[in-house]
Amino acid sequence: MSLRAIIYNQETNNLEILDQLLLPAATKYLKLRGVEDGWKAINKMQVRGAPAIAIVGCLSLAVEMQNEKFESKKQLRQDIEGKLNYLVSSRPTAVNMKTAAEELIDLANQLSKDENITLDGMKSKFLSTILQMLEKDIADNTAIGDNGAKEILSRVSGDSQVRVITHCNTGSLATAGYGTALGVIRSLQAMKRLEHVYCTETRPYNQGARLTAYELVHEKIPATLICDNMVAALMKSRNISAVVVGADRVAANGDTANKIGTYQIAVVAKYHGVPFYVAAPFTSIDSKISSGEHIVIEERPDREMTHVGEHRIAAKGIQCWNPAFDVTPASLIAGIITERGVFRPDQLKDALATQQNI
Ligand SMILES: CSC[C@@H](O)[C@@H](O)C(=O)COP(=O)(O)O
């Protein structure tokens, strides 16, 4: 069974997340009682990964709403808007929480104006919309996995197997389930076309070593861990078929923000002629941003670099620079794999124009 990062029981209104700070040493679930707990869990990275952040943020609001009494639809609408905006402030780079908040605020506005809907009706419609997001994310990821696997296989001859590199964590722990880039790897494995996957350690937070490696071992997918500075040597020696990574935000021109280190892998891939793919739900494309220059890059505390757990590894007194993400220019990206198909960066604008309302 695939790992579950998010568990929500509608009947008991109980939300728990797998505490990703403790993995792989301990598998412990953390109960989230409402928006304040949701904000903290996202900000501290107990839950992380762009889609999972949005789902946990919205579910923490659902939990809180069910325990509260509202006097009017107007009061409910104001409460929803304030709390969603607060959740968006928990981490700035990934677009998914912001997109979900905008959709839900639009819905709250519509429902509060609709005279045929009661206060209870508005609350239950709102809750069911949040639950649908969870289901949609899993369905989208499965489609991303299959689209990506077919795309990568279309570049190899006959029925030969492929060797891929991935970065950071994009699997069940970063999404509602299945994963984006890791979903592509899962689909390749299911098709019996995956020879091997190489996952990077992903310093400084080590999502690759702690989380992706954990998922790959759990799923019995043939995999090897490499340090971030081994990518070029690996590409030179191991005949890599493709790189596939996730995304925190894709600009309208295809520039993509993802975990720090993604950009350097894309540069190295270009040099070695290895196709570099981004796998993400269509909602990760921010049509309001024309290029990656406008993406806000989160900077995280020095301690993530200077310490491993409680153990200091960096010399005392050294200054640190710790951006959590970088932007890979569209020119280095062979394709953006979504649930709606695979788009070259130069096809994105048209895709956004024609598919926005699907
Ligand atoms: C499907 S997750 C895609 C991205 O969110 C992932 O690659 C990533 O960069 C995660 O960063 P994180 O800082 O761990 O939240």
Pocket test for ligand 1, best of 44, 46, 48 (most atoms within 8 A of CB): 48
What confidence tier does 358 reach under pLDDT thresholds 50, 70, 90? very low
Nearest CA to ligand 1 atom 1: 170
Distance CA 341, CA 314 (A): 44
* Per-residue H/E/C for 223-257: EEEECHHHHHHHHHHCCCCEEEECCCEEECCCCEE
350 is catalytic: no
Q: What is the mean pLDDT of residues 14-35?
A: 96
In this model, does residue 356 exceed pLDDT 90?
A: no
* pLDDT tens digits, one per residue of 59-90: 999 999 999 999 999 999 999 999 999 999 99
Pocket test for ligand 1, best of 93, 259, 337 (most atoms within 8 A of CB): 259
What confidence tier does 118 reach under pLDDT thresholds 50, 70, 90? very high
DSSP string of 283-338? Answer: GGEETT-SSGGGPPPPB--THHHHEETTEE-SPTT-----BSEEEE-GGG-SEEEE
State which ligand 1 atom lies nearest to the alpha carbon of 167: 7
* pLDDT tens digits, one per residue of 340-353: 999 999 999 999 99
Domains of the chain: 6-138 (1.20.120.420), 145-355 (3.40.50.10470)
* pLDDT tens digits, one per residue of 192-241: 999 999 999 999 999 999 999 999 999 999 999 999 999 999 999 999 99
* pLDDT tens digits, one per residue of 161-191: 999 999 999 999 999 999 999 999 999 999 9
Residues with Cβ within 6 A of ligand 1?
A: 48-51, 94, 168, 170, 174-175, 180, 207, 246-248, 258-259, 324
Q: What is the mean pLDDT of residues 124-140?
A: 94
Question: What was the ipTM of the complex prediction?
Answer: 0.98
- pLDDT of 357 reads 47
Q: What is the mean pLDDT of residues 276-298?
A: 97
What pTM, to 2 d.p., does this model score? 0.96
Q: How far is the CA of 136 from the centre of ligand 1 (A)?
A: 19
User: Of the residues 140, 248, 286, 326, which is catalytic?
Assistant: 248
State which ligand 1 atom lies nearest to the alpha carbon of 50: 5
